[in-house]
């Protein structure tokens, strides 16, 4: 039985990856940060919480990384942990640099020292391309990071390549473009839109507040991107791959599609708020996944509109279920604005 160690297992990608690998017969170890309120809802939502051995790890503490590797004895390590919200990285640039950048080097050093045969996957990002002038981005496109998050990811990306070449480690970078799902956090614009539209549809809220709705992104379906991560570590030689859909759509288009599903006129509810404008924005991203298709046999299956439908229906169902008094794993309680709405109805019901 293969062992896999997944950092950031409580996030969208970590949870889907854990389920994917469990279905393939792996024993799964997952790292998590000790918090006053543990955030395991995604693992519970996928009904896999009891099948995972959880290990507390601080990416700034090398000793805890060494200990996690010794306990899990992994064949494969998937490093998905990071301060992953671009907007927040402008508010916390030092934390982004230390966790998203230096944390990766600590892992690479641990592997080099005590587990040189482990296969390592690093979650790189399309944000590293920044506000570039290329029609599409591939593995050969120059990087031009436009946020502290992207800069930290680029440093980690470069260190993975360096350790692969200098120490002969099996280490891969997955340059994943935006990938979404019903398990996406509410701070990300796609889920923010579907969650807000669902609340408006049910009369729980009246407005949706967004920033730049004309930014274009390449959006795919997260569970499909998980397979690409795994495929990278099944190859004979390590390499870096762009994983994308080769399509680009604006935030406005996503809002239009989801509003149409819910039967709303989005223009009556949209409020543009300067708070959500980034100091430096990325206006256009479109990935070329040809290398992944050729070498991994991977290609996206879920199209943009289908993704919007999946997410919109999921959030509508959640709010309807909650309105009917059901209890289920959900992230709404973790966000102040959502908690106010949930708590207000509970008081009214009493």
Catalytic residue ranges:
125, 127, 149
Contact 17/80 with Cβ under 8 angstroms? yes
Per-residue CA distances from 253 to 39, 52, 258, 313 (Å):
31, 38, 9, 17
Strands 249-250 and 216-217, how do they pair? antiparallel
Contact 239/175 with Cβ under 8 angstroms? no
Neighbours of 340 (CB within 10 A): 10
Residues of 43-82 as b/e, b for ≥16 C-beta within 10 angstroms?
Answer: bebbebbeebebbebebeebebbbebbeebebbbbbbbbb
Neighbours of 6 (CB within 10 A): 30
Between CA 83 and CA 94 the distance in angstroms is 11
Q: Which residues pair with 173 in a beta bridge?
A: 122
Find the length of the chain: 350
With H, G, I as helix, E, B as strand and everything else as coil, classify residue 77: strand
Residues in contact with 250: Cβ distance below 8 Å, sequence separation at least 6, in sequence order: 213, 214, 215, 216, 217
């Amino acid at each position: 039985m293969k062992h896999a160690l997944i950092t950031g297992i409580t996030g969208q990608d970590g949870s889907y990856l854990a389920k994917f690998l469990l279905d393939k017969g792996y024993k799964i170890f997952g790292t998590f940060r000790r918090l006053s309120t543990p955030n395991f809802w995604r693992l519970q939502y996928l009904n896999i919480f009891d099948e995972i051995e959880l290990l507390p790890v601080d990416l700034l503490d090398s000793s805890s990384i060494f200990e996690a590797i010794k306990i899990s004895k992994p064949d494969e390590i998937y490093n998905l942990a990071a301060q992953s919200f671009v907007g927040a990285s402008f508010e916390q640039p030092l934390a982004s640099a230390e966790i998203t950048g230096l944390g990766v080097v600590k892992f690479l050093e641990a592997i080099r020292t005590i587990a040189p045969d482990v296969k390592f996957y690093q979650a790189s990002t399309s944000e590293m391309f920044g506000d570039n002038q290329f029609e599409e981005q591939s593995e050969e496109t120059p990087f031009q990071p436009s946020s502290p998050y992207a800069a930290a990811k680029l440093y980690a990306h470069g260190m993975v390549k360096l350790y692969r070449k200098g120490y002969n480690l099996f280490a891969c970078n997955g340059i994943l473009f935006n990938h979404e799902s019903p398990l996406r956090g509410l701070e990300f614009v796609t889920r923010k839109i579907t969650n807000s539209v669902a609340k408006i549809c049910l009369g729980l809220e009246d407005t949706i507040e967004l920033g730049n709705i004309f930014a274009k992104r390449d959006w795919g379906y997260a569970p499909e991107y998980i397979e690409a991560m795994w495929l990278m570590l099944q190859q004979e030689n390590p390499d870096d791959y762009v994983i994308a859909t080769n399509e680009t759509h604006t935030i406005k288009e996503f809002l239009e599609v989801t509003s149409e599903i819910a039967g709303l006129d989005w223009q009556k509810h949209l409020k543009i708020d300067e708070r959500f404008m980034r100091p430096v924005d990325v206006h256009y991203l479109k990935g070329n996944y040809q290398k992944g298709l050729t070498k991994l046999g991977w290609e996206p299956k879920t199209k943009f509109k289908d993704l919007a439908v999946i997410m919109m229906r999921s959030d509508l169902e959640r709010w309807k279920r909650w309105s009917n008094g059901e209890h289920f794993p959900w992230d709404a309680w973790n966000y102040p604005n959502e908690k106010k709405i949930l708590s207000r109805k509970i008081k009214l019901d009493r």
